[in-house]
Structure 1
Amino acid sequence: MDGQHPHNFVMELVGRYDFKFSEHSQVFVYGGPAGAAALGPTPFPHRSSASENPIAVIGHHQQDSTHIATNVVTLGFAEGPVQVEASTFHGREPNETRWNIGKGKPDSFATRLTIALAKSLSAQFSTGRINNPEALDPNLDTVRTTASVHHNLRFSSGHLSSSLIWGRNKDLKNGARRIFNSYNLEVTMNFLHRNWVWTLMENVDRDRTLLPIPVQPKPSCRLCCVVGFDLAPSKESFTICPFNHVILDPEGTPVTIEEEPIGRIQAYTLGYERELPVGLSWLNLGLGVQATTYGLPPQLKTVYGARPSTVVVFLRLRPNGNLSEHMKLMHQHK
């Protein structure tokens, strides 16, 4: 139900230069062949409120998917608690080759306003136009708008981090418009030093590409497998047919699957993790479990069932000390 793709191996390859006018005033330039545009909240893999959740949020593509944009250039200015940024970047999503760095001239733009309301409380509002993000739908452009509030509370044996996020895509194609909204509330708590508990509540618009449609007995497109059809393409069709949104109906006529909204999905997640002693000062190891239950519109219940749910058991590794420094950077305003 998430309908998302893996990230490239190289997600960020950038440089940044800061020039300070005074202790509380500076300009900066950020850029490189792969990096984050000034659009959206802190990306979900780097948010302290989602630090232990191993699964991407469903609303990722309405909120912060441009954190892996290519050929990014950002100019920013900070004065006290206020920071303003403007970016240009290449709007196309990464292709199916995960080991390279995407190419393309900057053709999209975004701007973001961030305000540090307090030392542990910040908010952002951002908007941008992403041109031609989908290789399978080259006539599509997207105007994305996001707003979020982030809070971090520290106490003697841990901390509590929370985020409230809204993201909205307005897709533009041949004069028509379609709108997708997403809403997240996520909270993660570290307590008694080695224990983590978190929750995530989501309400996200989804589209009809998640629904099956009739196909001829021998499908000629990989998409048939992706959306869950019983029949799989032959080996020959994998080699001669591209992966796209066009399949054949029972009469053999090409059918294009448009990403039209069909309703909203609700997802409710609860997780727990325990850090394990490994005897290595540089390694932090955790064993966790996470459960999610979903609320679906009627169309999707015929595919996924009335009350679908998932359980994930995972082993988490990261360099010791990395998280605390990372959280300091995420919740301070330079």
Structure 2
Amino acid sequence: MAMPGAPTRPAPTPQAGSADPAAMPGMDTAPGDHGTMRMPAAFGPHPMAREASGTAWQPDASPMQGVMRMAGDWTLMGQALLNGVYDTQSGPRGDDRLFASGMVMGMATAKLSSRDTVAFRAMLSPDPLMGKRGYPLLLAAGETADGRTQLIDRQHPHDLFMELSASYSRRIGENASVFVYGGLPGEPAFGPGSFMHRLSIMDSPEAPVTHHWFDSTHITFGVLTAGVTKGDVKIEASRFKGREPDQNRYDIETPRFDSTAVRASWNPTRTLALQASWARFESPEQLVPDEDQERWSASAIYTRPVGRGGFVALTAAWGRKTEIEADGQRGHGLDAYLLEAAVKPDDRWTLFARAERIDTDELLPLPGRVHGPAFTVGKASVGAIRDFRVTQGMKVGIGALVARSLTPDGLDPAYGGDRTSGMAFVRLRIG
């Protein structure tokens, strides 16, 4: 099974500190990989590279890397990505902040037989160290700082425990399987893989303002997913806890299976991954517990290797969320559009960019409410990181990005004339 959405460059020969894939028993040969041996995929008889965060798919051509070891019948893989960021957001709603973000991940996978595979996954984050209010991010909104205060123009910190999950799959044919996945926390079957795992933007430390349309479910305290794969098609459904994680970022919350998600995925070629999904959330927001929510999403991810260790990666996505009042009355659908791109010409440089447009009613909430008038806003960012290899399995990078927020006339008094923001960061990457 691939590291959840943690693709980097493939190694043409076994690397120091990594297990030799060709020497690993029970490995599958991925179609089109010219005999390159791979770890067993967790959810079916397909290339390990296809598996991203949760049970989401990415293109089969996604490069992979991790520190690997064999322990008996188990294949172990680990990776760490840690950022130290200086963030400056301009205008009357902006602020400056130093913070740490990132993730440390570990996996254990074993083939119990020629048909049966089990996998365990853990992912931790340093985000809680930044405090309950997170970091300044113009146009972002969602969740709460302390159980009472709505976060606006700030990105909330993620929980210490981002994923603790287990899965089991069984082949039911030459190219078909059934699987179950459970997490506390975990990620239900909705949207593309989460932003911090998408190859098209994972080098950026800035969260997307579309986060609560596509992938805010990547930390869900209680997920059960069942699915079936056949060739390049996957159908799956989840029952999960609809409520967003609370302001206590270090705990494990009580699971509750009150919400539903359904996703269809198709990888028509090695370079393309498509998905469409629907979800009904029960009481997702702590500050408006009487409101439910419906979401739709569709996305396309394209990845193509370039040169020696390089790639081009693109993600295009659309999402819609609709609030549902306690009496069943539905609000207007709020749409979000996302385009991300990354170009890595070699092992040293990565260039990345993101463009977003959202309909949001949370930037100017009415007194005593979470929602207010709806506005269409946008944001564009571009950045780069230069990596320096320290050892075969470790790199240190220095990067920066600049972003521009786009708001209509009705928001000009709130955001002022200067809409430019930026981040400078250093990154440690292991694996």
- TM-score computed with the length of structure 2 as normaliser: 0.62
Aligned match of 1:275: 387
Give the gaps of 5 or more residues in structure 1.
Answer: 214-254, 321-334
Contact 1:295 1:307 in 2 (8 A): no
Contact 2:322 2:333 in 1 (8 A): yes
Task: Indicate the larger mover: 93-102 or 302-311.
Answer: 302-311
Task: Give the one of 293, 296, 311 matched to 1:159.
Answer: 311
- Cα distance in 2 for partners of 1:23, 1:212 equals 55
Over 3 Å off, 4+ runs: none
- Cα distance in 2 for partners of 1:283, 1:275 equals 10
SS at match of 2:288: coil
- Cα distance in 1 for partners of 2:217, 2:330 equals 23
Residue 17, structure 1, aligned to residue 128, structure 2:
no
Shift of 1:212: 7.5
SS at match of 1:34: coil
Aligned match of 2:209: 58
Aligned match of 1:306: 417
Residue by residue, what CA displacement relative to the aligned partner does 1:299-326 show, whole Å, maximum 9, x if unpaired? 2221111340111000112213xxxxxx
Task: Give the one of 397, 413, 428 matched to 1:286.
Answer: 397
| CA RMSD after TM alignment | 1.4
Contact 1:180 1:261 in 2 (8 A): no
Give the gaps of 5 or more residues in structure 2.
Answer: 1-138, 142-154
In the alignment, residue 82 of structure 1 is paired with which amino acid? V
Aligned match of 1:172: 324
Aligned match of 1:194: 348
- Cα distance in 1 for partners of 2:224, 2:389 equals 42
Residue correspondences, number: 277
Aligned match of 1:5: 156
Residue by residue, what CA displacement relative to the aligned partner does 1:100-144 show, whole Å, maximum 9, x if unpaired? 122132000000000001011010000010110011111110100
Aligned match of 2:430: 319
Contact 2:324 2:330 in 1 (8 A): yes
In the alignment, residue 410 of structure 2 is paired with which amino acid? Q
Contact 1:178 1:260 in 2 (8 A): no
Aligned match of 1:91: 242
- Cα distance in 2 for partners of 1:69, 1:80 equals 29
Contact 2:365 2:373 in 1 (8 A): no
1:1-334 maps to which residues of 2 (within 5 A)?
A: 1-3=139-141, 4-157=155-308, 158-173=310-325, 174=327, 175-207=329-361, 209-211=362-364, 255-278=367-390, 280-320=391-431
Residue by residue, what CA displacement relative to the aligned partner does 1:206-228 show, whole Å, maximum 9, x if unpaired? 22x42387xxxxxxxxxxxxxxx
Aligned match of 2:3: none
Residue by residue, what CA displacement relative to the aligned partner does 1:271-321 show, whole Å, maximum 9, x if unpaired? 01100233x33322111010001110222221111340111000112213x
- Cα distance in 2 for partners of 1:193, 1:258 equals 45
Contact 1:262 1:299 in 2 (8 A): no
Percent identity between the two aligned chains: 33
- TM-score computed with the length of structure 1 as normaliser: 0.80
Contact 2:364 2:371 in 1 (8 A): no
Closer, same or farther: CA 262–282 of 1 in aligned 2, 3 Å: same
In the alignment, residue 392 of structure 2 is paired with which amino acid? S
SS at match of 2:161: coil
Contact 2:315 2:341 in 1 (8 A): yes
Shift of 1:261: 4.5
- Cα distance in 1 for partners of 2:289, 2:214 equals 21
Please state which structure has a larger fraction of its residues in helix.
1
In the alignment, residue 272 of structure 1 is paired with which amino acid? A
- Cα distance in 2 for partners of 1:77, 1:204 equals 33
